[in-house]
Amino acid sequence: DALSKDGFAHYMLKEIHEQPTAVANTIAGRLYNDQVCKYFIDEPIADILKKVKNIHIIACGTSYHAGLVARYWLEAITQIPTQVEIASEYRYRKPVVPDDTLFLTISQSGETADSLAALRFAKTAGYLSTFAVCNVANSSLDRETDVCFLTHAGPEIGVASTKALTTQLTVLALLTLKLAEIKGVDPAVRTNLAKQLRTLPGIINQSLMLNDQIEVIARQIVRRDHALFLGRGVHYPIALEGALKLKEISYIHAEGYPAGELKHGPLALVDENMPVIAVCPNDELLEKLESNIEEVRARGGELYAFVDHKSKHGLANRVNHLIELEASGSFTSPIVFNVPLQLLSYHVAVLRGTDVDQPRNLAKSVTVE
Ligand code: G6P
């Protein structure tokens, strides 16, 4: 039953645990033989996608972070130039819209005032078409956009978004895969991406099993006033999301930073009272990230690293705490690494006694400007 807590202490914890099912439901019927089904992207939609030369993604809050991840995927895999912007900024400037640009809104609720205003502007601005990724059928966004891809996360009650983001990323991954088909990307690459998506629910399940370990580190962070989240590449938006989640529900001041930018400012904040939480998958930026982590270590920062079985070796001697995740493929890795960060914020908030599902001053859906 979507509206009960099913024995969980909070909706947020329930929704975190629903993610394997939510992802499976979001993929169901949309991927077959490693190809994106026509049921999901039919001929008329594919015809629009064939023309796309640029993509403008607009969203707010956690949905904006989904867009930031998608930009890394879309540009790296399909070479389609992609911009991502916060709706409340976009709607008040005068954006240039090149020919054949697709407008894409991401919103859990489909009712966020700034995102809807951006869409209404886009409809007058000469875009090729307007697409959306949304969790609520028949919402204003679903009704007003040309094409809406629904996430099948089920109702999300906790104000801090968890399963909605995971399913948004799942849909955006499917869209990337479809564009890769259209662009004639190497079939071996596409098969690998599809395989990663199919195994995603199982890998998220493994991440959830880290719950008890994460609760232990939450006990160490709970009395801190600040926290710094670091990531690089496609995991940089995951660092931003980790920081957003922590500040939303625990009221600890947190910032997400691209690790390479550390020495341009945030390093000045690092001392033994600053927990630094690093997202460290084994990817092509690992070596760079290791040297960024070394910079933090030299200043006495308390380092928590989320690693996989390959990246852990280079980090074991450099950080205070290692949390090892099941290795996923590099495509779905940001989705997988986000899950333990959700659990971390959750446990810190519970230990601080805040109202986890309804944090002060925030609303589930911001329907006024
Ligand atoms: C509010 C919520 C966030 C959400 C954001 C965008 O701030 O508290 O969790 O990410 O709105 O909402 P949307 O429904 O457009 O994704």
Higher per-residue confidence, 293 vs 337: 337
DSSP state letters, 23-90? HHHHHTTTEETTEE-TTTS-HHHHHHHHH--EEEEEE-HHHHHHHHHHHHHIIIII---EEEEEHHHH
Q: Whose CA is nearest to atom 2 of ligand 1?
A: 364
Catalytic option among 5, 123, 183, 364: 364
252 lines ligand 1 (CB under 6 A): no
With pLDDT > 70 as the criterion, what percentage of the chain qualifies? Answer: 99
For ligand 1, the distance from its centroid to the CA atom of residue 240, given in whole angstroms, is: 15
For ligand 1, the distance from its centroid to the CA atom of residue 317, given in whole angstroms, is: 38
Strand partners, 227: 254
- CA–CA gap between residue 228 and residue 250 (Å, rounded): 14
User: 55: closest CA among 13, 87, 100, 94?
Assistant: 100
For ligand 1, the distance from its centroid to the CA atom of residue 159, given in whole angstroms, is: 8
Average pLDDT over all residues of the chain: 94
For ligand 1, the distance from its centroid to the CA atom of residue 286, given in whole angstroms, is: 31
Q: Is the pLDDT of residue 309 over 90?
A: no
Q: Is the pLDDT of residue 1 over 70?
A: no
Mean pLDDT of 211-239: 96
pLDDT at 318: 82
Mean pLDDT of 127-152: 98
Confidence band, pLDDT 50/70/90 cuts, at residue 368: confident
pLDDT at 32: 92
Measured between alpha carbons, how far is residue 66 from residues 103, 115, 129, 168, 270 in Å? Answer: 15, 14, 20, 7, 28
pLDDT at 315: 82
pLDDT at 253: 97
- Mean pLDDT check: name the lowest of 44-53, 198-207, 274-283, 292-301: 292-301
pLDDT at 220: 95
pLDDT at 2: 67
Active site residue 310: no
pLDDT at 284: 85
Mean pLDDT of 63-88: 98
How is residue 337 written in tokens? 């690494």
117 lines ligand 1 (CB under 6 A): no
Q: Is the pLDDT of residue 292 over 90?
A: no
User: Best of 11, 161, 346, 355 to mutate for ligand 1, by most ligand atoms within 8 A of CB?
Assistant: 161
353 by Cβ neighbours in 10 Å (0-12 / 13-18 / 19+) ranks as exposed
Mean pLDDT of 332-345: 97
Mean pLDDT of 181-199: 96
Mean pLDDT of 156-160: 93
Number of other residues whose CB lies within 10 A of the CB of residue 141: 25
Mean pLDDT of 233-252: 97
365 lines ligand 1 (CB under 6 A): yes
Mean pLDDT of 23-41: 94
**pLDDT tens string 103-116:** 999 999 999 999 99
- CA–CA gap between residue 159 and residue 195 (Å, rounded): 32
- CA–CA gap between residue 311 and residue 319 (Å, rounded): 12
Residue type (1 letter), 191: T
User: 170: closest CA among 135, 143, 139?
Assistant: 135
- CA–CA gap between residue 156 and residue 280 (Å, rounded): 29
Q: Whose CA is nearest to atom 15 of ligand 1?
A: 107
